[in-house]
């Protein structure tokens, strides 16, 4: 049976395609296609017309490959997307460095032939993973935006009602609203509080809590009123100042609402993936960090061993050896996904705070801390161990599922 390796070097709006067979036989020299429906349909027809079995490989660089993968998959063709690092490291046996779309397409086709038996078909689960990863990147973007809007509001309130952001530490609600922000919207200037009598403010605050469905405390109300008497605002209590504060609050609330909607949507999407219950059972992982982990790690079965996934995350220890010299302590590689490293560190931070005594990762972190290791060292070591356990549990579970 003929093996037709279709290597596609994908870029924005166009791709370079090369088709090879074993022993260097060229079925089709590299040619370019535009990412239009006509061009893609024509390529599908071309591939289907070739005698034998065809397998298509692309690099998953950015998001450019996804429309092609979807179209090929729906047309019943075997298609897969692989990490560009695997292609880059494959077959570098020439002293000449050739970098062109044509050369890359041929190299991908050669990789396809070499890894033929181990290639994995793009599937509906891959689409869900792509959606989850896209949402996670949006989540990160809006979280940064929310932090900027929060700092902006605090900077303005420092001129109208200094320290009001410290009065309540209630977590955000499902709609993204927070008690201190809602309080600042109602009492946007310190004079909104201290121009009333104590009893009038307590009654007003009590009604506000009831209307907004927040807990009320007489002690807290009196504490807020007493503190207001000592504050010195910079901006006057007038319509212009009120407009500035209200605009800042509106921007923060919009960002907060988007973050919480994405958090919920990510959890619902992650729940469609088979490994969801396994991941959510791990200590330090909840309905927010669990989907983030799954989004950034993707399908663990594409990693050949535990070392491959820690290298992907960039939490693998580096190596510095030459001859008889071997450095004992080497910095981590940091070559992998910075988004995944950030999420792993958040999981480690959660473990350090919650202290689950029966968790092997927390015990490992504690051991490193007891040895006097610096913060970054024990957190990275914990992330490495966590990822290895994640890989073992999730891969074992996925491999046990029926095809």
- pLDDT for the residue 370: 92
Judging by beta carbons within 10 Å of its beta carbon (0-12, 13-18, 19+), is residue 175 exposed, middle or buried?
exposed
Rounded CA separation 144/21 (Å): 48
Rounded CA separation 63/35 (Å): 13
The domain that holds 91 is classified in CATH as 3.30.420.10
Domain shared by 308 and 221, yes or no: no
Domain shared by 280 and 260, yes or no: no
Query: How many domains does the structure of the chain reveal?
Result: 3
- pLDDT for the residue 331: 56
Which whole number is the average pLDDT over 152-175?
93
Q: Does 197 fall in a domain?
A: yes
The tokens describing 208, both together, are 């506000």
Last residue of a domain, one of 251, 268, 285: 268
87: closest CA among 59, 54, 126? 59
Domain shared by 170 and 105, yes or no: no
Rounded CA separation 146/277 (Å): 30
Last residue of a domain, one of 268, 293, 311: 268
Q: Does 45 fall in a domain?
A: yes
Q: Does 141 fall in a domain?
A: yes
Mean of the per-residue pLDDT values of the chain: 88
Q: Does 128 fall in a domain?
A: no
Q: Does 127 fall in a domain?
A: no
Structural domain including 296 reads 276-400
Query: By the 8 A CB rule, do 16 and 57 touch?
Result: no
Q: Does 129 fall in a domain?
A: no
Domain shared by 214 and 303, yes or no: no
Last residue of a domain, one of 240, 268, 296: 268
- Tens of pLDDT along 80-135? 888 777 787 776 655 445 568 888 899 999 999 998 988 888 776 778 888 899 99
Domain shared by 304 and 388, yes or no: yes
Q: Does 89 fall in a domain?
A: yes
Domain shared by 372 and 305, yes or no: yes
Domain shared by 317 and 372, yes or no: yes
Domain shared by 112 and 213, yes or no: no
Domain shared by 150 and 189, yes or no: yes
The yes-or-no verdict on residue 174 having pLDDT over 80 is yes
Would residue 111 be called left, alpha or beta, if left means φ above 0 and alpha means ψ between -120 and 50 degrees? alpha
Domain shared by 43 and 142, yes or no: no
Domain shared by 298 and 241, yes or no: no
The yes-or-no verdict on residue 254 having pLDDT over 90 is yes
Classified as helix, coil or strand, 51 is: coil
- Tens of pLDDT along 203-224? 999 999 999 999 999 999 999 9
Interacting residues of 337 by C-beta distance below 8 A, sequence separation 6+ = 296, 312, 313, 314
Domain shared by 287 and 257, yes or no: no
Q: Does 165 fall in a domain?
A: yes
Rounded CA separation 345/66 (Å): 29
Classified as helix, coil or strand, 164 is: helix
């Amino acid at each position: 049976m003929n093996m037709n390796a279709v290597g596609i070097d994908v870029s924005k709006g166009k791709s370079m395609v090369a088709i090879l067979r074993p022993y260097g036989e060229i079925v089709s020299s590299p040619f370019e296609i535009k990412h239009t429906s006509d061009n893609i349909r024509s390529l599908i027809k071309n591939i289907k017309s070739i005698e034998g079995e065809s397998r298509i490989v692309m690099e998953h660089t950015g998001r450019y490959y996804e429309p092609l993968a979807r179209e090929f998959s729906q047309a019943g063709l075997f298609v897969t997307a692989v990490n560009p690092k695997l292609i880059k490291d494959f077959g570098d046996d020439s002293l000449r460095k050739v970098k062109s779309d044509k050369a890359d397409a041929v190299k991908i086709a050669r990789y396809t032939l070499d890894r033929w038996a181990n290639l994995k078909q793009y599937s509906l689960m891959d689409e869900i993973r792509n959606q989850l990863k896209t949402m996670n990147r949006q989540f990160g973007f809006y979280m940064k935006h929310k932090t900027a809007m929060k700092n902006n509001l605090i900077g303005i309130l420092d001129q109208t009602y200094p320290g009001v952001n410290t009065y309540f530490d209630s977590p955000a609600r499902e709609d993204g609203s927070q008690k201190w922000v809602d309080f600042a919207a109602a009492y946007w200037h310190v004079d909104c509080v201290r121009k009333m009598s104590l009893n009038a403010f307590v009654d007003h605050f009590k009604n506000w809590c009831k209307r907004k469905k927040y807990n009320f405390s007489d002690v807290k109300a009196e504490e807020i009123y007493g503190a207001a008497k000592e504050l010195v605002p910079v901006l006057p209590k007038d319509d212009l100042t009120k407009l500035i504060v209200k605009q800042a609050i509106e921007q923060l609330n919009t960002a907060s609402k988007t973050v919480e909607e994405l958090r919920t949507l990510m959890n619902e999407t992650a729940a469609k993936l088979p490994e969801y219950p396994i991941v959510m059972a791990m200590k330090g992982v909840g309905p927010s960090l669990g989907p983030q982990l799954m989004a950034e790690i993707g399908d663990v079965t594409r990693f050949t061993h535990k070392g491959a996934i820690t290298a992907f995350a960039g939490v693998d220890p580096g190596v510095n050896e030459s001859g008889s010299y071997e450095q004992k302590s080497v910095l981590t590689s940091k070559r992998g996904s910075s988004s995944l490293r950030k999420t792993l560190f958040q999981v480690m931070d959660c473990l350090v705070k919650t202290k689950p005594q029966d968790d092997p990762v927390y015990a490992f972190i504690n051991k490193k801390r007891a040895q006097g290791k610096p913060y970054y060292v024990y957190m990275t070591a914990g992330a490495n161990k966590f990822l290895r356990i994640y890989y073992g549990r999730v891969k074992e579970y996925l491999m046990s599922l029926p095809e």
